[in-house]
């Protein structure tokens, strides 16, 4: 898989719709949503309002509320994991802080996420541009050759070239006997927990579990033991 796991920054993001409900969209935005979802509406037979449950994964209609990241380092021959979380209602600030951290502290690292190439990486890049945040080197892909892009995707690695294959992180955690990353809420609950319960801390814990699972998955694939909970630190 990857020889040096200490040069990987594992990450996961959580996103929510900019507007919680379809009926709260202003007329122009609602028309643009309907236009974007026109094909899906025809294929599914669902209304545009029913399709609005997908808004949280579309960067044009959603925002980032949490980015969790972490890296493996060794102390006395034992793997430890250090984590850093950016979360809050101010999307521009958390994207700015994350971007600055990447350029200052992790310029030589690979970014790793599950389905990151299809979701996490492009979503963050789009929201940074929308918010007027300069793209960090890791996400500024203009003019780069495929082998120059410093991204790893555990979903892609598990596909082994099988393009039609999708496997969730939860299933991989089960297959490799890892603590499940989804033992509290699921992705479909995030918007409700954010807007109704206003419990960002709960969402953050959910996000952090994904990142720890990512690191442990790569350790399993490298024939190494997983990180003990006592060896996880937060900064």
How far are the Cα atoms of 53, 73, 145, 200 from residue 61, in angstroms, in the given order? 11, 37, 30, 20
- 182 shares a domain with 122: yes
User: What number of other Cβ atoms are within 10 A of residue 49's Cβ?
Assistant: 14
pLDDT at position 183, please? Answer: 58
Residue 134 predicted with pLDDT over 90? yes
- 109 shares a domain with 220: yes
- 122 shares a domain with 26: no
Residue with tokens 């997983």: 226
- 155 shares a domain with 85: yes
Which CATH number characterizes residue 100's domain?
3.30.420.10
The count of domains in the chain is 2
Q: 153 is in which domain, residue-wise? A: 5-15+68-234
pLDDT at position 154, please? Answer: 96
How big is the chain, counted in residues?
Answer: 235
Confidence of residue 187 (pLDDT cuts 50, 70, 90): confident
Average pLDDT taken over every residue of the chain: 94
Phi, psi torsion values for 4, nearest 5 degrees: -110, 95
pLDDT at position 182, please? Answer: 52
Whether the CB-CB separation of 191 and 56 falls below 8 Å is answered with yes
């Amino acid at each position: 898989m990857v020889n040096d796991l200490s040069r990987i920054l594992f990450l996961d993001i959580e996103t929510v719709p900019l507007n919680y409900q379809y009926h709260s969209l202003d007329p122009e935005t609602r028309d643009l949503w309907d236009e974007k979802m026109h094909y899906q509406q025809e294929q599914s037979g669902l209304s545009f309002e029913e399709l609005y449950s997908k808004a949280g994964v579309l960067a044009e209609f959603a925002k980032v509320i949490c980015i969790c990241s972490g890296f493996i380092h060794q102390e006395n021959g034992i793997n430890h994991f250090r984590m850093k979380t950016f979360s809050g209602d101010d999307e521009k600030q958390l994207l700015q802080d994350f971007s600055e951290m990447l350029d200052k502290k992790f310029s030589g690292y690979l970014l790793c996420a599950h389905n990151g190439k299809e979701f996490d990486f492009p979503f963050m890049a789009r929201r940074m541009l929308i918010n007027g945040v300069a793209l960090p080197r890791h996400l500024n892909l203009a003019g780069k050759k495929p082998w120059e892009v410093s991204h790893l995707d555990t979903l892609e690695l598990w596909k082994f070239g099988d393009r039609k294959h999708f496997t969730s992180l939860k299933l991989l955690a089960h297959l490799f006997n890892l603590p499940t990353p989804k033992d509290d809420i699921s992705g479909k609950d995030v918007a409700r927990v954010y807007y109704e319960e206003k419990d960002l801390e709960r969402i953050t814990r959910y996000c952090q579990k994904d990142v720890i699972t990512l690191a442990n998955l790569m350790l399993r694939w490298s024939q190494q033991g997983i990180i003990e909970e006592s060896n996880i630190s937060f900064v």
